[in-house]
């Protein structure tokens, strides 16, 4: 399993989902051993080639990840996180809190610029919807650049915004998690499998269906995100909806199940 280019909280969750799926399929498919690599590949071409040149078998990413457009791959079109990753919460400068609290429409948010590390999948999505984006640098320097006013806000999935803020942004005292807005777009998290390993794709698909049916996946989701989602208050926020043009055909009708 390649599990790089993502936050630690997502790494842990995706690893546990895969372990559950492998265990659930053991009676039919037999024993298994998971070897995980969390190496980050900042260059888009390196991430794109994790199957072709690096020999990995499986990794989690958003459905339709544009970096994989020209690569051979197998998608397992079963959402791992109920669409939570597409519920985006903003981190902003504390001094701008009132400006963002006044936003009620997409046109108002489009007056501000989003910052995002180079090669991250949702940059193109925001641009497609008419939002100014500065796509540059890395995750490590993102919040320093936000403090320095290179852009106005960053967004993270509701599943990870709290941990990202505490680990990387809170110490300066200049940034806050914006309390009133929710940017939503269909953004299911899925597993992609090396096309040379169809048996693994079949096995993981079988396991995912089983844990989705028997409640194990729901229980894992609740353990990771239940308390956090209550605190974030998704339903009480002003919701701004974006279109996702990169969804693959077999997930065009995806709706979140939160």
- Alpha carbons 186 and 246: distance in angstroms, whole number: 10
Contact 178, 97 (CB under 8 A): yes
Q: For the chain, what are the domain ranges?
A: 8-83+188-235, 84-184
Tell the burial category of 49 from Cβ atoms under 10 Å away from its Cβ (0-12, 13-18, 19+). Answer: middle
- Alpha carbons 48 and 43: distance in angstroms, whole number: 9
- Alpha carbons 19 and 137: distance in angstroms, whole number: 33
> How far, in Å, are 105, 153, 184, 196 from residue 243 at the CA level?
15, 20, 9, 33
Check if 8-83+188-235 and 84-184 are the same fold: yes
Encoding tokens for residue 220? Answer: 């894992």
Encoding tokens for residue 26? Answer: 């053991």
Tell which residue, 76, 63, 86, 106, has the closest CA to residue 186.
Answer: 86
CATH class of segment(s) 84-184: alpha beta
pLDDT of residue 26: 95
CATH class of segment(s) 8-83+188-235: alpha beta
Encoding tokens for residue 209? Answer: 């269906």
pLDDT of residue 66: 86
- Alpha carbons 124 and 151: distance in angstroms, whole number: 16
Instruction: Map residue 81 onto helix, strand or coil.
Output: coil
b/e map 50-72, b = 16+ CB within 10 Å: bbeeeebbbbbbbbbbbbbeeee
The stretches in the chain having pLDDT less than 50 are none
- Going by their DSSP bridges, the two strands 74-76 and 238-241 should be labelled as unpaired
pLDDT of residue 68: 92
Encoding tokens for residue 35? Answer: 């070897």
Rounded to two decimals, the pTM is 0.85
Q: Any idea how long the chain is?
A: 258
b/e map 134-148, b = 16+ CB within 10 Å: ebebebeebbebbee
pLDDT of residue 121: 76
Average pLDDT, the chain: 94
pLDDT of residue 9: 84
């Amino acid at each position: 399993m390649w599990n790089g280019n993502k936050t630690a909280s997502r790494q842990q969750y995706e690893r546990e989902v895969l372990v559950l799926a492998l265990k659930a399929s053991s009676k039919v498919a037999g024993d298994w051993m998971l070897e995980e690599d969390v190496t980050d590949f900042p260059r888009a071409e390196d991430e794109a080639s994790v199957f072709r040149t690096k020999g990995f078998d499986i990794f989690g990413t958003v459905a339709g990840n544009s970096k994989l457009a020209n690569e051979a791959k197998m998608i397992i079109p079963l959402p791992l996180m109920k669409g939570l990753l597409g519920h985006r919460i903003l981190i902003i400068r504390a001094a701008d809190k009132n400006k963002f609290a006044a936003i009620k429409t997409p046109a108002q948010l489009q007056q501000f610029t989003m910052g995002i590390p180079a090669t991250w999948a949702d940059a193109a999505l925001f641009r497609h919807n008419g939002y100014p984006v500065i796509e540059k640098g890395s995750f490590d320097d993102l919040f320093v650049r936000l403090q320095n006013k290179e852009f106005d806000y960053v967004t993270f999935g509701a599943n990870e915004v709290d941990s990202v803020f505490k680990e990387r942004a809170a110490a300066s005292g200049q940034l806050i998690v914006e309390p009133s807005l929710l940017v939503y777009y269909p953004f299911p998290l899925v597993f992609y499998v090396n096309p040379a390993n169809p048996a693994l794709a079949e096995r993981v698909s079988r396991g995912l269906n089983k844990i989705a049916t028997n409640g194990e996946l729901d229980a894992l989701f609740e353990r990771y995100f239940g308390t956090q989602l209550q605190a974030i208050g998704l339903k009480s926020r002003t919701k701004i909806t974006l279109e996702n043009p990169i969804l693959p055909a077999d997930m065009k009708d995806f709706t979140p199940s939160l």
